[in-house]
Amino acid sequence: MGLKLEDYTGSGTFAHGIHPPGHKNLSQDEPVRVMPTPDTVVLSLHQNIGGPCEPLVKPRQTVAWGEIIGKGTSFVSTTLHASVPGIVQRPVRMTLANGRHMDTLPIKTEGEIPSGRGLWDEIFGGNWPVTGLDAYEPARISLAINEGGLVGLGGAAFPTHVKIAPSDKKPIHTLIVNGCECEPYLTSDYRLMVEAPWPIITGALLAGRSVGAKRIVIGVEDNKAPAIAALKRAAEGTGIKVAVVKTKYPQGSEKHLIQAVIKRQVPLGGLPSDVGVAMSNVGTMAAVARAVIYKKPLTHRVISVTGGGIVNPSNVLAPIGVSFGALVDFCGGLTPDAARMIAGGPMMGFAFSNPGTPVTKGTSGLTVMTRDEVKAGEETACIRCGKCVDVCPMNLVPTKIAMASRHQDIALSRRYNIMACFECGSCAYTCPAHIPLVQLIRAGKARVAVADRS
């Protein structure tokens, strides 16, 4: 199977990978619901990969919706805005879902913002031009993105202005918009593509112009036919292509989508720009369009609240900083057999236990799994069946790395390229001996990183 797209040499897939059950039917046909503005939001000062931001507001200060409350401290860092209007409270140190302890700015809601359909229209509705975008200078686009506080909404939360900045050193020829939502359960990007394809297209055109890409392509997996149709319709006449790639985990990984679309391998430790590609998530593109054209910052995002442990699995448009507990309540609460709350999807997401944990810009979903689903098999001895080798999308030997890591053998784990692992979890999913491979490798990576520093 090929892409059947002119100029794109990719085969639409990559080597290895797994096919976990999708469980997308729980929420894929649920139109995005708009959550009423919560009483408080808690905004972490560290919402992205890179440096945290510095608060610009004092406790008890009144802020408006979208007002800048934090400023990036470094290049790889971005602006933070109030996602609701209200009064800033004293900073609190909290544990985020990913386990990091961070200073947060709670804001007590006071004042009105559009609600329901009104809010949706405010953010995704309106007029999304596909022509006349030449008026926007590349440098201005990047600046507007930074001012909008945009980060990658797919989960990694890399500041978007860094990715989309025009660069002379590494010319970009292709912008790939990542519409692959390969994590099981999650459907937030899917719903956005179906319901609001126009801002995505506009945003992609703007981002493409900013990086100087000659080609723009949106990669979507073949299990999302309605999204493909919607995007194709919206993209008509713009030159943007939709690449239909194979449904497989982890197709949404940057490097693997590039391989699937243009058949280029991003070098180890390198970035997509090393092969002339810029990549961003579909949700980010919609936010780019809003930030550049309407000068509106990122304050809300679509979140999938799903899994067998949620009474009414849904896709929710919610302000950043809302607590996961409030999201759960909005979706009917937890079922009695709910056993694990995960920020993100079940393959790479972070489990947490405090319902007060706030949503950050990179939170693409909340998956609540049931007791039966998380029942882990008993760990037995590795019989070296090599199934983990067969599925590793990075072409590594996970069991060797994990064992080297278990025995704290840094040299051996380096020889097996431990740092190339991006913890997608394919190996641990497949392992018949139920060895916690990812956990071991993660510990090993930390150890190697420490050794590298000293």
Partner 1 sequence: MKPIDEILPTAPVIHVSPSPHLVQTASSTRRMMVDVLIALVPVVAMSLFVFRGYALFQLAVCLGGCLLAELVFVKMRGRPSTLKDGSAIVTGIILAMSLPGTAPWYVGTIAAFVAIGIGKIIFGGMGMNLFNPAMVGRAFVMISFAGALAASGFEDVRSAVDAISQATPMNAYKINGVVTPLTHLFWGTTNGSLGETSALACLLGGLYLVIRRTASWEIPAGLIAAVLVLGGVADLAGPADGWTVLHHILGGSLLFGAFFIATDPVTSPLTPTGKFIFGAGTGMLIMVLRLFSGYPEGVMFAVLFMNALTPLINRWSIPTPFGGK
Nearer to partner 1, 25 or 61 (CB): 25
Give me the half-sphere count of Cα atoms (radius 13 Å) on the Cβ side of residue 26. 26
Is 347 a residue that touches partner 1 (CB under 8 A)? yes
- What letter represents residue 279's amino acid? M
Is 265 a residue that touches partner 1 (CB under 8 A)? yes
| Region 177-196 residues binding partner 1, contact defined as CB under 8 A | 184
Is 381 a residue that touches partner 1 (CB under 8 A)? yes
Is 306 a residue that touches partner 1 (CB under 8 A)? no
- What letter represents residue 81's amino acid? H
Is 446 a residue that touches partner 1 (CB under 8 A)? no
Nearer to partner 1, 217 or 328 (CB): 328
Contact 187, 142 (CB under 8 A): no
Gap between the Cα atoms of 392 and 414, Å rounded: 17
Is 385 a residue that touches partner 1 (CB under 8 A)? yes
Query: Please, which residues have CB within 8 angstroms of residue 13's CB and are 6 or more apart in sequence?
Result: 1, 245, 246, 248, 251, 260
- What letter represents residue 104's amino acid? T
- Nearest distance from residue 45's CB to partner 1, in Å? 24
CA dihedral 153→12→269→283, nearest 10 degrees, is: -10
Gap between the Cα atoms of 194 and 197, Å rounded: 6
Query: Please, which residues have CB within 8 angstroms of residue 209's CB and are 6 or more apart in sequence?
Result: 133, 134, 136, 138, 141
User: Considering only 31-39, 54-62, 292-300, 422-430, which stretch makes contact with partner 1 by CB under 8 A?
Assistant: 422-430
- Nearest distance from residue 304's CB to partner 1, in Å? 15
User: Considering only 162-170, 209-217, 392-400, 445-453, which stretch makes contact with partner 1 by CB under 8 A?
Assistant: 392-400
Per CB under 8 A, the list member of 31, 59, 332, 377 interacting with partner 1 is 377
Q: Identify the DSSP state of 310.
A: B
Is 428 a residue that touches partner 1 (CB under 8 A)? yes
| Region 18-77 residues binding partner 1, contact defined as CB under 8 A | 20
- Nearest distance from residue 321's CB to partner 1, in Å? 21
- Nearest distance from residue 421's CB to partner 1, in Å? 9
CA dihedral 20→22→23→28, nearest 10 degrees, is: 170
Contact 298, 148 (CB under 8 A): yes
Which ranges of 73-218 would DSSP assign to H, the alpha helix? 117-124, 138-147, 160-163, 188-195, 197-211
Annotate 331-355 with three-state secondary structure.
CCCECCCEEEEEEECCCCCEEECCC
Per CB under 8 A, the list member of 386, 408, 449, 451 interacting with partner 1 is 386
Is 151 a residue that touches partner 1 (CB under 8 A)? no
Is 369 a residue that touches partner 1 (CB under 8 A)? yes
Is 415 a residue that touches partner 1 (CB under 8 A)? yes
Nearer to partner 1, 83 or 413 (CB): 413
Nearer to partner 1, 94 or 351 (CB): 351
Give me the half-sphere count of Cα atoms (radius 13 Å) on the Cβ side of residue 351. 9
Nearer to partner 1, 88 or 262 (CB): 262
- Nearest distance from residue 234's CB to partner 1, in Å? 33
Per CB under 8 A, the list member of 1, 64, 383, 446 interacting with partner 1 is 383
Query: Please, which residues have CB within 8 angstroms of residue 423's CB and are 6 or more apart in sequence?
Result: 348, 438, 441, 442
Nearer to partner 1, 69 or 262 (CB): 262
Nearer to partner 1, 237 or 269 (CB): 269
Is 423 a residue that touches partner 1 (CB under 8 A)? yes
Is 142 a residue that touches partner 1 (CB under 8 A)? no
Side by side, the strands of the sheet bearing 53-55 are 53-55, 68-72, 80-81
Is 365 a residue that touches partner 1 (CB under 8 A)? no
Is 279 a residue that touches partner 1 (CB under 8 A)? no
Is 366 a residue that touches partner 1 (CB under 8 A)? no
Per CB under 8 A, the list member of 80, 331, 334, 366 interacting with partner 1 is 334
